[in-house]
């Protein structure tokens, strides 16, 4: 194994691959560029390649998808089956608002791309990415920042450009950038709102700013830039509610995790009763025993998936009756997390740089392949993963 790693490092030095920058705009749906004037995105696509969509893993939520992009693994292998998870072996919860859990390496399966590259002699820098704050495998990127929502977007760009353009051996070869919009505005006001349109235009201006800054440092022409998102967004309404208390007795349920993917852990001896009742009333949702979850969701292999799961139809909300009034009073206008085969859950993907085709389009593909793509660009040997380079070769020059 040591010989293989040394060989890979030697190959990297001979090939002298271009730097790679991976950028995520959270919640940027595949079709958002058609909703506003986006001259900088348009220029990026004209000089590069754009996919018809990027298919998220299920559930189509932020943490599972950003970490699958980083590792090339499906949720049952990363362990990330939701933004909120319960681990029955540890009797512990993971919540994205819990900084101690977010920074705890034990929750993160697989090998993230920054570890793969660092192990093979490359330097990496992460300006916010799920998993990069934890010392997974006892490692961190050469440069990294703890998530700070208040950090101005342009300051994030300036920092990453500084990392990429640092003198001599201190420069990073691979970096990430993360922006939390237009996801927030999509939740608040819906994907058709003027607020989302404003965030699309803001993202376009950031792409223009990034290009200018990289050109000033002679980086633009020699860097592969990948711009993507974690998931899409769909509309919500108050008349598409699935009131769980009206179907089953919550006294029979020990633990519930709510969402488009709702996980129920029935009390001992109640699993079949709860399942049969939910199945008999199945309407605008699908219900599965854990062992019968369709394989394409790549979930049932994880111990963090409960014995019964419900999957709401697009745009529907599963909730308890006593939360209904609060939900309606603060009704979010958009959300995600639904079946990843739904087109509205698909995300943005485009790429520009010396290794990508120019002025081309490509079919939609799964985001689990991005890990293999980055390894190919960097001339490194990937860790075991669920992706396939063959699925993304269409993006690359001959």
Q: Which residues, given as ranges, of the chain have pLDDT below 50?
A: 1-14
Radius of gyration of the chain (CA): 21
Q: Residue 329: what pLDDT?
A: 74
Contact 126, 175 (CB under 8 A): yes
Q: What is the per-residue pLDDT for 327? A: 75
Task: Report how far residue 235's alpha carbon sits from residue 394's, in angstroms, rounded to the nearest whole number.
Answer: 32
- Enumerate the CATH 3.40.720.10 domain ranges in the chain, comma separated: 2-81+110-235+340-395
Residues composing the chain: 398
Architecture of domain 2-81+110-235+340-395: 3-Layer(aba) Sandwich (3.40)
How far apart are alpha carbons 307 and 266 in whole angstroms? 7
DSSP structural state of residue 128:
S
Can you give the pLDDT at residue 306?
97
The highest-level CATH class for domain 241-331 is: alpha beta
**CA distances (Å), origin 152, targets 155, 179, 196, 361:** 5, 10, 18, 32
Nearest to 223 by CA among 47, 51, 41, 13: 47
User: For position 55, what pLDDT does the model report?
Assistant: 98
CA 342 to each of CA 24, 59, 83, 175, 200: distance values in angstroms, whole numbers, following the listed order = 20, 11, 20, 30, 22
Percent helix, strand and coil across the chain, each to the nearest 5: 40, 20, 40
Question: What are the catalytic residues?
Answer: 62
The model's pLDDT over 88-137, given as tens digits with 9 standing for 90+, comes to 999 999 999 999 999 999 999 999 999 999 999 999 999 999 999 999 99
Q: Residues 189, 183: contact at Cβ < 8 Å?
A: no
Q: Would you state the pLDDT for residue 323?
A: 72
Q: How many CB atoms lie within 10 A of CB 244?
A: 22
Question: In this predicted model, what pLDDT tens digit does every residue of 327-385 receive, in sequence order?
Answer: 777 778 999 999 999 999 999 999 999 999 999 999 999 999 999 999 999 999 999 99
227's enclosing H/E stretch is: strand 223-228
User: What is the CA angle 276-279-283, rounded to 5?
Assistant: 155
């Amino acid at each position: 194994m040591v010989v293989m790693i040394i060989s890979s490092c030697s190959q990297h030095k001979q090939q002298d691959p271009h730097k790679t920058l991976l950028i995520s705009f959270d919640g940027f749906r595949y079709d958002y560029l058609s909703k506003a004037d986006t001259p900088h995105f348009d220029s990026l696509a004209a000089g590069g390649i754009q996919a018809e969509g990027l298919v998220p893993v299920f559930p189509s939520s932020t943490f599972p998808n950003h970490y699958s992009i980083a590792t090339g693994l499906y949720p049952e292998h990363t362990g990330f089956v939701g933004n909120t998870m319960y681990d029955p072996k540890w009797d512990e919860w993971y919540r994205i608002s819990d900084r101690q859990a977010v920074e705890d390496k034990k929750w993160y399966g697989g090998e993230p791309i920054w570890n793969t590259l660092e192990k093979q002699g490359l330097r990496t820098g992460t300006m916010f990415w799920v998993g990069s704050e934890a010392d997974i495998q006892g490692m961190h990127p050469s440069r990294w920042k703890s998530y700070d929502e208040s950090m101005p977007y342009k300051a994030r760009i300036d920092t990453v450009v500084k990392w990429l353009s640092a003198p001599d051996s201190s420069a990073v070869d691979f970096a990430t950038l993360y922006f939390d919009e237009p996801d927030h505005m999509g939740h608040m006001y819906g994907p058709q709102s003027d607020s989302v349109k404003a965030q699309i235009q803001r993202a376009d201006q950031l792409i223009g700013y990034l290009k200018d800054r990289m050109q000033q440092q002679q980086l633009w022409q020699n860097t592969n830039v990948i711009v993507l998102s974690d998931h899409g967004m769909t509309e919500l309404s108050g008349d598409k509610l699935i009131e769980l208390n009206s179907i089953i007795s919550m006294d029979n349920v020990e633990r519930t995790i709510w969402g488009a993917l709702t996980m129920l852990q029935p009390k001992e001896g109640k699993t079949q009763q709860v399942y049969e009742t939910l199945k008999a009333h199945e309407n605008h949702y699908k219900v599965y025993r854990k062992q019968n979850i369709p394989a394409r969701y790549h979930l049932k292999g994880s111990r963090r998936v409960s014995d019964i799961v419900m999957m709401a139809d697009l745009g529907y909300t599963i909730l308890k009756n006593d939360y209904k009034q609060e939900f309606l009073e603060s009704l979010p206008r958009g959300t995600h997390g639904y079946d990843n085969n739904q087109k509205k859950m698909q995300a943005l993907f485009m790429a520009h740089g010396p290794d990508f085709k120019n002025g081309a389009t490509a079919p939609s593909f799964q985001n689990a392949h991005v890990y293999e793509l980055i390894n190919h660009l960097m001339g490194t040997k990937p860790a075991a993963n669920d992706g396939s380079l063959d699925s993304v070769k269409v993006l690359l020059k001959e």
